[in-house]
Amino acid sequence: MRVEILFFVYILSTSFIAGIIGSLLGLGGGIILVPALTILFDMPIHEAIGLSFIGVLVNSSSSSLVYIKNGITDIRLSSILEIGAAIGSIIGAYTALLMESNI
């Protein structure tokens, strides 16, 4: 039970730091979260990537709302960018699944 609580605290702390850095730099946090999950928590890379995407989705959505509310984001341009990003993400995800996890 104590190990589970510590694991929860470590994961929460790691994701908190990744969220702050990701929001400040516009990285989404995945660039920090995936290496942290694989190195610090010995998580398989495919699992870390999948988990990171869920976290990045929430982080990016939350940050985007702040930028939209403050009138900083061009919604039309964002929509156009998302079309290409969505297609690229789908291709990238399928490609990642085809790769060995120990690369």
**Please, are residues 48 and 34 in contact by the beta-carbon 8 Å criterion?**
yes
pLDDT in tens, 25-65: 777 677 888 898 899 989 998 899 888 888 778 877 888 88
Predicted pLDDT of residue 28? 63
18 vs 29: CA distance, rounded Å: 5
Instruction: Extract the tokens encoding 25.
Output: 């730099």
pLDDT in tens, 66-95: 989 999 888 888 888 888 888 988 898 899
Among 20, 19, 90, which residue's Cα sits nearest to residue 56?
19
Predicted pLDDT of residue 21? 80
Residue 64: other Cβ atoms inside 10 A: 15
69 vs 49: CA distance, rounded Å: 30
Q: Give residue 102's pLDDT band: very low, low, confident or very high (50, 70, 90).
A: low
Q: Please give the model's pTM, rounded to 2 decimal places.
A: 0.67
Q: Give residue 103's pLDDT band: very low, low, confident or very high (50, 70, 90).
A: low
Residue 27 neighbours by CB under 8 Å, 6+ apart: 21
